[in-house]
């Protein structure tokens, strides 16, 4: 694995943002230790960079029409497609995912996913609530519910880089049994 201080410059389609080298590669990630996870995802932008490269490896495309001629907006990880409507369709890397329309930081979502997938016997929403301090049990339950629903979809597994993992069925099965 490369040193975490190595930076890679994403091309202009991804907003010319500096991100950790591990995120620019968008490889399938094996099981990490918590310290490796902390280094790989230090902030929300590194999580968004990972999602961008995983979702659109050949470059950003409009999620509605598939047009590859999208324009970057001033806000990082936001684009606009002029092909969909006359005023343009604005979208972000989170559109169409379980992370869409959430006020909770993306890094916390990634941490919950990490905890759910690395727990040997699964993990309950109450334990998630205690570990990350969501503020309320309902928030933790909602996050776990959405993640479990997303993990049943192959597209979401590919987005996270866990599709085709031999141990995934065992880990996910344990996570469902714990709920």
Residue with the bigger pLDDT between 42 and 12: it is 42
**Beta pairing, strands 78-81 & 89-92:** antiparallel
For tokens 């999602």, the residue is 51
Intra-chain end-to-end CA distance of the chain, in Å: 34
- Please say if the pLDDT value at position 59 is more than 50: yes
Structural tokens at position 77: 């990880």
Give CA separation, 137 vs 11, 112, 113, 129, 130, in Å.
40, 13, 16, 6, 9
pLDDT, residue 24, reads 44
Burial of 13 (0-12, 13-18, 19+ CB in 10 A): middle
- Please say if the pLDDT value at position 78 is more than 50: yes
């Amino acid at each position: 694995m490369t040193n975490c201080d190595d930076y890679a410059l994403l091309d202009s389609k991804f907003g010319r943002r500096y991100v950790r080298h591990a995120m620019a590669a968008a490889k399938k990630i094996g099981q990490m230790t918590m310290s490796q996870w902390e280094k790989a995802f230090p902030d929300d932008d590194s999580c968004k960079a990972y999602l961008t490269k995983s979702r659109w490896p050949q470059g950003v495309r409009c999620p509605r029409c598939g047009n590859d001629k999208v324009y970057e907006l001033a806000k990082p990880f936001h684009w606009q497609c002029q092909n969909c409507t006359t005023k343009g369709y604005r979208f972000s890397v989170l559109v169409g995912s379980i992370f869409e329309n959430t006020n909770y930081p993306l890094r916390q979502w990634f941490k919950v996913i990490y905890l759910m997938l690395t727990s040997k016997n699964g993990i309950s929403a109450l334990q998630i609530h205690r570990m990350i301090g969501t503020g309320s049990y309902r928030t933790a339950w909602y996050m776990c519910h959405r993640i479990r629903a997303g993990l049943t979809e192959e597209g979401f597994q590919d987005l996270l880089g866990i599709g085709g993992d031999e141990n995934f069925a065992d880990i996910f099965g344990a996570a469902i049994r714990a709920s």
